[in-house]
Amino acid sequence: MTIDPIPLSRLAYALIPAAAVIALMWRFEVGAGKAAYAFVRMFVQLIAIGYALVFIFGSNSPLLVLAILLAMAAASSWIALNTIKDGKRALIGASFISILGGGGLTLAIITQLVLRLDPWFEPNLMIPLAGMVFSSSMTAVSIAAERLGAELSNGVAIAPARRAAVQAA
């Protein structure tokens, strides 16, 4: 299946919702300038990511794909701990092992046993699937970390706090 490029004239329609929001923000004087700046920044970031993905998807390097997967797992591990106020650095290793272990195993099962990617690292499938799997793992770790922290701060012993965290995730 081939997908035809979208002409810029049609792509411009996607700007309508953002322009409407910025116009409303300007009308009600609630920071339209900041919103417009954020929109331009987002647009530039998306263009940069698009070019990076074209390069990555065109590559035939399993090492590049593995490096990207490790970077995705590392970023997910750090973001998952945003609900933790103190001790984030002490938990990053456990978060990384959890996300890479659970998410990596799930990703391996999906890509190798279910989909049987050929080559096994097919970038245009592996990386989007990894994004979905690691984001799900990140959510589970985030919920568990938040619940564990809340239970421990309420004076609950470690074993029941751990059970509550696992049940929450």
User: CA 152, CA 157: separation in Å to the nearest integer?
Assistant: 7
Residues 50 and 69 in one domain: no
Centre a 10 Å sphere on the Cβ of residue 126 and count the other Cβ atoms it contains: 24
Please indicate, yes or no, if residue 125 is contained in any of the structural domains: yes
- 96 with 26, same domain: the answer is no
Whether residues 89 and 161 fall in one domain: yes
Number of domains observed in the structure of the chain? 2
79 and 48 within one domain: no
pTM attached to this predicted model: 0.77
* Of the residues 58, 76, 91, the one at which a domain ends: 58
In a domain, 35, yes or no: yes
100 and 48 belong to one structural domain: no
Same domain, residue pair 76 and 126 = yes
* Domain identity same for 112 and 70: yes
Q: Say yes or no: 85 and 166 in one domain.
A: yes
pLDDT, averaged in runs of 10, over the chain (169 residues): 81 90 90 90 92 92 97 96 86 95 97 97 96 97 89 85 83
Residues found in the chain: 169
77 domain-assigned: yes
Q: What is the 3-state secondary structure (H, E, C) of the chain?
A: CCCCCCCHHHHHHHHHHHHHHHHHHHHCCCCHHHHHHHHHHHHHHHHHHHHHHHHHHHCCCHHHHHHHHHHHHHHHHHHHHHHCCCCHHHHHHHHHHHHHHHHHHHHHHHHHHHCCCCCCCCHHHHHHHHHHHHHHHHHHHHHHHHHHHHHHHCCCCHHHHHHHHHHHC
Least Cα distance to 136 among 107, 113, 116, 165 occurs for 107
| Pair (41, 110) in one structural domain | no
pLDDT in the model for residue 140: 94
Q: Is 134 domain-assigned?
A: yes
* Beta carbons within 8 Å of 31's beta carbon, 6+ residues apart: 25
Q: Are residues 137 and 88 in the same domain?
A: yes
* 29, HSE (Cβ side, Cα atoms, 13 Å): 0
Q: Are residues 32 and 69 both part of a single domain?
A: no
Rounded CA-CA distance 163/77 in Å is: 21
Please report whether residue 2 resides in a domain. no
Check residue 153 and give its pLDDT.
82
Domain for residue 40, yes or no? yes
- Which residue, 43, 58, 73, sits at the end of a domain? 58
**Structural domain span for residue 28:** 7-58
What pLDDT does residue 1 have? 59
Whether 1 is covered by a domain: the verdict is no
Same domain, yes or no, for 48 and 67? no
